[in-house]
Structure formats: structure tokens, C-alpha cells
Structure 1
Amino acid sequence: MRKSQAFVIPLIAASSLLMEQIDATVISTAIPKISATLGVSALDLKMAISVYLIGAAVSIPVSGWIAGRFGTRTTFLWAMAIFVGSSILCGSSSSFGQFVGARLLQGVGGSVMTLAAQMIVLKTIAKTDTVRVLSYLSIPALIGPVLGPPIGGFIATYFSWRWIFLINVPIGLAGMVAAALWIKNNRDEHSLPFDWPGFSLAASGLALTMFCAATLAQSFIPAPVSLTIGGIGIAVLFAYQAHARRTPRSLLHLALLRIPTFRIGVLGGAFARVGLGATPFLLPLMLQLGFGLTPLKSGLLTCVPAAGSILLKTVAPLVLGRYGFRRALLWSIPLSSLSIGLLGYMTPATPYWIVVALLFAGGCARSLQFAGLNTLTYADIPAKEVTHASSLATAFQQFSLNLGVSAGALFLAGSGWAQDHRGIAVLDFLPAFVGVALVCLCALVLAGQLTSDAGSQLTNSRKSA
């Protein structure tokens, strides 16, 4: 691969990933204006966020098969076309039903686009470049959920909220042209027939469990109903597991979890992403309700961790090569969890420089943490299994991000119930942030299972004695 391709292809993939990640959260600060235009309550409009995640979850099991069968470039182009088209539908919606339907379609297009972008990079880069390239490729996942709310708030404040979606059109079209010119259409040599029973089980199981997680803390759906739906979803996923063991053409290859580095990268990343999903949800609420800041000011503070993430990305490959994946994760996971827990101890009297320093340090720690976990995920995956590994890893990523938002909401609601008050109080944020931090800390148990030389073949470093 030419040097120009080694730069342009990851750039195309990263740009599409950033666009998708921002779009997942960009409407959160624009909900009041959108709801006023569509004539519904702000609470009802939260369904537009949930259906985006559900659409993404449903499409994950089939994305890998489509990319393997028709080629990564073809899949990427069609997925981006769906994403751009649904963005136009979102921006031109005149009713609540149209808007929710367009968001569902946007989630499908965004999810397939994300998976295809990851596969394009994994199939084109050299093994020795994996750490460097995936380190930069993980930036969108870190900063997208952080940049979404302030971007949405800025556009909704100074322009029409419809531009939140219409701005995707020129960006998406430019990405499609670049992909058509630079990306090779890699296909799997031996594509198995489509597993319709497996797709039905996996898609419905993921959709039901994610719907439960998204609505459990909402008042418009009773908790027993949400729990029942979640229980059915879990039962369906167990049925899929039994099905996957019997068929060699299953869409999500759960057997890949037997590979230690893949299992630790995926499951450890799932615990860590709970914090990545919860923090952009909890932090703006605390800054606005507790500190009295405006949405724009709270959005700007929410961007601070992104600066730390980007800075650390420049040295993450060097750190992983020098100290190894195990040592880097054993330090970065507790530091990242600690930075989340300490957010709950901030008060309106806390000096701004301390707030900024804590957010920046947390962004640095999470950046190193995800650089290690994301790269480790594919360290020992055979080339023929890259498609299936990417599909399974993406499924865990989508679910854990959604679970993070739900966990933050549940901890807030639980604190209010324990203290016997209605609504959200400032004191509720301490148990919420600490609870999320403890969930993230569970990744440390998995990182401790790594050998000292795990992933060393990806850094060109010598194996530890």
C-alpha cells in the first residue's frame, strides 16, 4: 500500500466514524426546539435517540455478512448513501412519526457505515501499523459523543435545528467520492449463505435488550414492562447462542471470545464504554442543573476530555510499545475510573481550573485505555475472521454505550428514590458518577488476565522475559 493510501484510507474511515458518533448524540441539546417544531413533548422526543441505537443494533449482525459478500467499498458507499438520505429525511420531517422513522433508518446506515469503515482499515493496513492506525481511528469514538451535544446546541441556538442533519449531506457526498477513488473493494473469498434464523434471533435479541436499557429510567414506559421486554431479549440472545453453536454460518461468531486477547479487548472495552456513554449524559446535567451554567458553556466544558484524548493519541503507540499492553491498561483503567468518580465531588464552588484539569486528565487516561483495548481486540484474529470479529466487537460497543447512558440515568433515579425526593438534585450526581466509575473499574479484572507480552507483535517490541 502506498504512503498516500496509508494516510487517506484511515482518514476517510475516521471521518465517517466521527460523523456517525456525533450524530448519535447531537440532538440531545436540541430536543426542546425540535419538539416545539414537531408538536410533541421533549420527553417523547427522546425516543428519537433510542430508535437510532436500536436501528444500529439490529443492523450489526448482518453488516459483516454484507461487507464480506458484496465488498467493503460497495457496502461503505451504500451505507453512507442511506445515512445521507436519512439525514435529509430527518432535516425535512414535518411530523413526529416521520422524524422517528428517519432516525431509525439513520441508525441502520450509520452502523453499517461504521463497521464497513473498520473492516476497510483492518484489511488494508500492515500488521505492524495496527497500533498506530487503530489508535487514531479510536479518536472518533472518544470525542464524537462529547462533541455532539455542544454542536447540536450551537446549531439549534444560532441556526435552524434542521441543519444538524442537513450538514451531513455535503460531508457524506465528499466521503463517498473519496471512498470511490481511494478504497479497494475487498471481498471474502468464501462467503457462506445468509443465516436468516440467526439474523432474526440476534437482531431481535439486541433490539429488545437495548430498548429495555433505553427506556428503563423513563417515566412513559412502566419499569415492569421494560424489564419484561429486556428479559425476553436476553432469552432470545441465549437462543441465538444455542443456534450459533449448531451452525457454521452464524452471523456473530461467539466462538471468537475464546481467543484471550479478543475476549479481554471486547469485554474490557464494554465495561470501559459504560463510562464513555454515561459521562457525556451526566456531566451537562450536573453543570446546568447544579452549577447553573448555560447549555453552551456546559457543552464547551464537556469538550475538554476530547482535547486530552487527542493529545494522548500522539504518544499512545510509544507508551504501548515501551511498557506493553498489560502495564498500560493496569494503569490507565483505574486512572480513567478515578477521573469519572471524582466528577461527582465537584461543587459550584470548585475552581474552574480544577474542573478543567480533571476533565483533561480523564480524557488522557481514557485515550490510552481505549488505544490499548481497541488494538488488543484484533491482535490475534486470523485474517479470515476479521469480518466476524469486527461485527461482534461492534455489537458489544453499541450495546455498552447505550448501557452507559441508561446506567447513568438509573443511578440518578436510584439516588432520588433513596433520598426520597422527586426530580434531579445536585446530591444525586455523586452516587451516579461513583457508580459508573465502579462499573468501569471492572475492566481491570480482565486486563489483569493478560500476559506480559500480549499484543507485542503489533508494536514491534521485544517480548518481555
Structure 2
Amino acid sequence: MDSPRHPREKTLLATVFLLNGVEFLQAGMMAFGAAPIMGQIGASPEEFTVVTILYAVVAIAAIAQMGWLIERLGWRRYVQASVAVFVVGTAICAGSSSLGQFLLGRLVMALGGAPFMTSARLMITHMPPTPRRFLGIKVFASALAIGNALAPWLAGEAVTADRWSVIFIVPGLLAGCAAILAIWCLPNQPAPAAQRSAQHLPAMAALVAGCFLVLYAFQRATYDFFDDPAPLAVCAGAGVALLWLVVRQLAAQRLPLLALSRLWQPRYLAGLALFTVCYMVLGANNYMLPVLTQRALGNSWQVAGTVQAGGLLSALAAFWVMAAILPAYPAPKKFYTAGFVFLAACGVLLFRLNGDADLWRDVFPAVAGYGAFIILVMATTALQAFAGLQQDAQGFNHGQQLKNMMSQFGVAAGVAVAALSLQWRNGEHYTALVARFGNGDAAFNEAVARLAQTQPAQVAVGQLAQQLNQQAILLASLDYFGFLVVFSLLGIGVMTLQRVLK
């Protein structure tokens, strides 16, 4: 006998796919296309990272509020309103010509689009509690893998064609399709008044301020960590104190925005910590891969995006292999170990690169290993962390919200850490290279003389300086991926020895 189905199962699954895919598509395109976008709006790297932080702060607040809004609007109106706000944000970004316009657009995008992933995951619970729900999980994970893989390809094509606004137009159109599908597959009844959570403006204000202070300290560490770390520590400490007050306040309320007391389980907390670390890796790697392939190795945006997209498609293959193995062999350790082994392989392959590296031969396999890591570790953690919440609908919903709030924090923190690493190591390597190749160095003088045969001497010196800077960026990138190897080995050890997620 067939399992009971949702009456609009195909439409519901298409909506899940679109919402989750849009979330990873737009985030991936923003990471890959950051440099050309900065050029279009006249923003410095420092200003652009502030935009990233403010996006994350608004995103965290929007995800925290989604349950409150669904209780009052109903699922259908909530999704359609979120998509409408998101589309307005994409339109502002696509037409922006200044930093202020772009910042406004990104904040509007966060307000409407940040809850897409959470919404997509919770929509799967609208399906009857039968084995067919696993089909929903497959669709959800496939959307993650495909959206993350298509992002660098589409961004590379858009930048190459000098149509960077496509980075925002495409997610807006896809989200609009999801809003249309929601008409047929989502309920529209608000929750009974007695079951609605109360609004907690002081807690929300403290949440926003605390997240901003912590993330701003991360961002400023990129520039001030080695010169004046004390104000950064004060800023981060104040942010942590505010976040702790939020936790205390929510724990004391009868109908809180987030029922944190239900989530105080070792399995969930361990999964939440691992999720946050994985999203930090996601943010850092998505920041560093374009730096390596485009800035350090000198490839075009189109070629770099195609290679990165092709490698990341391994996530889709890894998930379907995992889905085939899981029913017969559900123990998670093999997936965790394999995931971190793939990440270590990614780091080793990229750490060994030199200036003559071929993207398809040398970089593509490494990116494929990174893609496999994303799905093996994160999908396994999703199954394990929520195992104790399957019979607690509110706990499960709030657990998903908190997890995705931490994902926004993790991605922003990962970008900040990667930028800090790049700035530090790039400065060290550039100083060493300049000291090595000075005016009195025979190799330097020989190179200048050779280049001066076809161009003015000043131009030749400038070209050499550019080559030194490119070499310094390459060495700094290799340092980052060397650290990634060490991190991966630690991950293998920890996940092999841990006894919580099992």
C-alpha cells in the first residue's frame, strides 16, 4: 500500500527546491562576484565587509521573527510577503550605483530572503510523517548542492558579459516562481490566538546589537587585530554579554520567540556547534577560492566560475551516494570521517599549487573534495542533531530557526577570518618578496632590463610590482589552505572520538 501523500506534493517539493536553492544561489554568487560588485558600486573591501555583517545581522533577526509572523499571517501569506520583500531588495541591488543604494538593497534582501532556507525545511513537515518525508529531504539537499554549484558559474558568466545585475535578477525571478507555487500548496490559516508567541522587542533589540558587536569585532580584526586588539575584545565581550541576556530572557518567558529550554540537549547543541563550524568553512572557502583562481592564478572570471561550479557539483553526487547507503548503514561516523578526509584532500591539493597550475587538472579535484565535505558533514549533522526533536514540533521548528541563525553568523565570521588570514599573510609575503627583489638584486635588474626592451622602464617596474603582488597573494592563499589541512585532520580526530552524534 502506498504511503499517504501531501495533496499537492509535487508543488510543495518544487517550492521547497526553489526557496532553498535561491538562498544558496544568491549567497554563492555574492561571494564569488564580490570583487566586480565592489568595482561597480565604488566600495572598498572594508566597506563591503561591513555590508556583509549588516546583512547577517538583519538575517538573524528575520529568522528569529519568522515563527511570530507565520502564527499571524499563515504560511502562504508569510512566504509571499517574504518573497515580495526579497524581490524589492534584488531590484534595488540590481539598479544600484553607489554603496548606500547597494547596502539598502542587501538589507531588504536579508529581511525577506534570509528565512528561505528555514521555511523550505519546515515545509517538509507539512508532508505526512511517512517515509515519503525523506523524499522532501532529498529535494532540500539537492537544492542546496545545485544552488551552491550554479552560483560561481552564473556569477562568472554575468561578470564576463558585464551584466553583474544578473547576480540579483535571477534569484528574484526564481523566488517569484516559489511565491506563485505557494498559492496551491501552502495553508493560509493563522495560529489560534492562545498559541501565538508574544513579541519581545527588548530581546530582539539585544539580539541585533549583540550580533552586530560580535561580527563587527571579527570584521575590524581584519584591520586592527595586530595594532590595537583591546577595543576589539571589549566590543566582542559586550556583544557576547548582550546575547547571553537574550538567552536568559527567552528562557524565562512562557511563549518565547525561541523555546531554548527545549533545545538544551547534548545532541542538538553538539550539532549546532558543528553546523556553525561548517558554515564558517563555507564562508571562508567561498571567499578564498575566487582569490586563488582569479587573483592569484590570473584566470578569467568565466573560467574560474566554470571550474568551481563543476567541482561543487560533487556535493550532489555525494548526497545521492549517501542517501543510497543510509537506510542499510545509518551510523554517522563513516560519513563524518569521509567528509573531513575530502576536506583534507582539498587542502592538500590546493596547498601544493604553483603559478603554473591548471584549473581543470589541479583545482577542479580539490573543489570536488570540498563539495563532498559540505554535503556529507552537513547532511549527516542535520539528521543527527534533530533526532531528539522529531516528536516535539515546536522544539524542531525553533531548533531549525536557531541553526539557521547560527549559519548566518558562521558565514559572516568565516569570511572575516579568511580576510584576516589573507591580509596578514599577504602582507608578510609581500614584504619578504620586496626585500628579496630590490634595486640591488641581480634577478630584479635582469627582469627590468628584459621588460624594458619592449616598454618604458617605469612601466616595466610597475609590471614587476604587480607580479610580486600576485605572487604574494598566491603564497597567502596557500597558507590558508595549509591551515585547512590542519583543521581537517583535527576534524577527523574529533569526529572519530566523539560519542554524542552517533
TM range (shorter): 0.7 to 0.9
Deviates more, 1:356-365 or 1:140-149: 140-149
Alignment partner of 1:44 is 2:50: no
Question: What percent identity do the matched residue pairs reach?
Answer: 20
SS at match of 2:197: coil
The aligned counterpart of 1:348 is 355
1:125 Cα shift?
5.0
Equivalent residues in 2 for 1:265-304 (5 A)?
A: 265-304=271-310
Cα distance in 2 for residues equivalent to 1:86 and 1:370: 29
SS at match of 1:293: coil
Alignment partner of 1:407 is 2:417: yes
| Residues 1:284 and 1:163: Cα distance change in structure 2 (over 3 Å) | closer
CA contact (8 A) 2:339 2:372 kept: no
Structure 2 counterpart of 1:207, from 205, 208, 212: 212
SS at match of 1:390: helix
Alignment partner of 1:425 is 2:473: yes
| Residues 1:108 and 1:95: Cα distance change in structure 2 (over 3 Å) | same
Deviates more, 1:288-297 or 1:216-225: 216-225
Deviations 1:58-97 (A, max 9, x none): 2222123222443333221111111011112222334331
Cα distance in 2 for residues equivalent to 1:339 and 1:169: 36
Cα distance in 1 for residues equivalent to 2:184 and 2:155: 31
| Residues 1:157 and 1:88: Cα distance change in structure 2 (over 3 Å) | same
Query: Which structure has the bigger radius of gyration?
Result: 2
Cα distance in 2 for residues equivalent to 1:128 and 1:451: 25
CA contact (8 A) 1:339 1:359 kept: no
Cα distance in 2 for residues equivalent to 1:45 and 1:395: 21
SS at match of 1:193: coil
SS at match of 1:322: coil
Cα distance in 2 for residues equivalent to 1:233 and 1:165: 32
The aligned counterpart of 1:336 is 342
Equivalent residues in 2 for 1:444-455 (5 A)?
A: 445=494, 448-450=497-499, 454=502
1:17 Cα shift?
1.8
1:272 Cα shift?
2.0
Cα distance in 2 for residues equivalent to 1:258 and 1:290: 45
Cα distance in 1 for residues equivalent to 2:39 and 2:336: 48
The aligned counterpart of 1:70 is 73
The aligned counterpart of 1:358 is 366
Deviates more, 1:34-43 or 1:164-173: 34-43
Deviations 1:257-296 (A, max 9, x none): 4323322322112222222221121112112233221222
| Residues 1:436 and 1:200: Cα distance change in structure 2 (over 3 Å) | farther
| Residues 1:184 and 1:22: Cα distance change in structure 2 (over 3 Å) | same
Q: How many residues are paired up?
A: 453
Deviates more, 1:102-111 or 1:335-344: 335-344
| Residues 1:213 and 1:68: Cα distance change in structure 2 (over 3 Å) | farther
Structure 2 counterpart of 1:181, from 178, 184, 197: 184
The aligned counterpart of 1:434 is 482
Deviations 1:177-220 (A, max 9, x none): 10111223475552222222222222322233233334432589
The aligned counterpart of 2:460 is none
* Structure 1 segments unaligned to the other structure (5+ residues): 455-465
For normalisation by structure 1, the TM-score amounts to: 0.86
Equivalent residues in 2 for 1:372-387 (5 A)?
A: 372-381=380-389, 382-387=392-397
1:131 Cα shift?
4.5
The aligned counterpart of 1:369 is 377
| Residues 1:46 and 1:404: Cα distance change in structure 2 (over 3 Å) | closer
Equivalent residue letter for 1:408:
A
Equivalent residue letter for 1:400:
G
1:52 Cα shift?
2.4
For normalisation by structure 2, the TM-score amounts to: 0.80
Deviates more, 1:141-150 or 1:7-16: 141-150
* Structure 2 segments unaligned to the other structure (5+ residues): 433-468
Structure 1 counterpart of 2:57, from 40, 54, 57: 54
Structure 1 counterpart of 2:105, from 102, 106, 109: 102
Deviates more, 1:77-86 or 1:160-169: 160-169
CA contact (8 A) 1:22 1:145 kept: yes
Equivalent residue letter for 1:347:
N
The aligned counterpart of 1:460 is none
| Alignment RMSD | 3.1
CA contact (8 A) 1:16 1:175 kept: yes
| Residues 1:149 and 1:73: Cα distance change in structure 2 (over 3 Å) | same
